[in-house]
Each structure stands twice: as C-alpha cells, then as structure tokens.
Amino acid sequence: MYILKDENSLYKLGPALIFLGKVAASQNKLQDIAYPILKNLTSEIKVDSFLMIPTGYKGCVLERFDGEQSIKIIERFGNEFFLHCGATRKAILAHKSKSFIDEYIKNVIEDKRNKITLTAEELEKSLKKIRKEGVAVSYGEYAKGTIGVGAPIYDYNNNVVASIGINLLESNELTDKKLEEYKKIIREKAEEISKSMGSSK
C-alpha cells in the first residue's frame, strides 16, 4: 500500500512508498559517488563513459559523460536494453545470483518472441569469463563496429547494483595493449565506486 490511514484519521506513507523512497535514495547516493569518478574517467581516456543500473531484465543509463570522439555512439539517459547486450550491461548480469541468471535465460534468451540468436551455453560461457576477469568486453553487441568495456559496482551488501563502462569504435589504433589498459582503468574505477558504497569486494 502507498498511503495508510491511522486511528486518528491521519495519513502516512505506506510500505510501498517507503520502499520506493529507499530505492531512490540509494540511486541518488550511487549517482553522487559515481559522478566525479565517471567525469574523471572521461577526462583521463577521452571517450564516452556511462553509469548503468539494472531495471528488471534490462539495463538503463543513469549517467553519462561525452568524450572527444568525433563519431558518437548514442546511449541516451533512460535507454533500456536487455542485460546481455553490450559490456556495460553484461557486467551487471554476470554478477547477479545464479537464480536470476537462470530466470533470465528462461524468460529472455529462450523466449522465442525476443528473437535472440545467442544460446544459453554461449551466454553462460561469456558470463563465466567476465566473473573471472572482473571486467566485460563486447564486440558489436550494442552497435555494429563498436567495442564495449564494463565493470560491476557493488553496494555495502556486496550485491551488484550498477556498472560503469565505455563504448569505443573499432579502429587500427585500438591495439590489444590499449584495450588491456582500458580494462584495467574501468575495473579500478568501478572498484573505487564500490568501496565508496561500502562494499568489501
């Protein structure tokens, strides 16, 4: 219930609104902590960066900073796509509980209405690699000709609550060495936010 009426005919917030308020407060805290770190990330590596939060089976852009790329990969505020699409979203999915991932496979990957060609086995293999490396890398999953790098953010309960990431255009200048540098930076920035959120991971 959203509104309750007590014995004195006074109204007060119900448990549903209190819960929504706590969710909003948690997201505000996350945004406040992540904002300067994300801004610093973009200043450091000169590429577009994003803060992503999960919304059910999808991931939504909560914050973004534009880098210096002449060609932009559009990810607008509030954009929602399935969590297996792109590194920044996949970094969240990989660190969800086994039960959530099982439900995701059943309700998203294996649902023929979604017309997804990715198999459950392929997804699980990809998520296992992300968990091992602590960072996700995707090639053309969000948009053709792009490379994504993303890492998870945890709260004080060590639950994954968000991720940060970058989107790059494929080019000869993006060497394997450069990509490894980006992975290291993204992982470190995500860990910095997680620690500020009270995580021990």
| CA angle, residues 150, 153, 156, in degrees to nearest 5 | 170
pLDDT at 77: 60
Residues 6+ apart with CB under 8 A from 82: 57, 58, 59, 89, 108, 114, 116
Task: Please report, for the chain, the start and end positions of each structural domain, with discontinuous segments joined by +.
Answer: 11-196
pLDDT at 22: 43
- Single-letter residue type at 18: I
The whole-angstrom separation of Cα 187 and Cα 185 is 5
Model's pTM, two decimal places?
0.83
Domain 11-196: which CATH number of 3.40.1390.40, 3.40.190.10, 1.10.3470.10, 3.30.450.40: 3.30.450.40
pLDDT tens, residue order, the chain (201 aa): 444 444 555 544 444 433 334 444 456 689 999 999 999 999 999 998 999 999 999 999 999 888 876 665 666 666 789 999 999 999 999 999 999 999 999 999 999 999 899 999 999 999 999 999 999 999 988 778 889 999 999 999 999 999 999 988 887 778 899 999 999 999 999 999 999 999 998
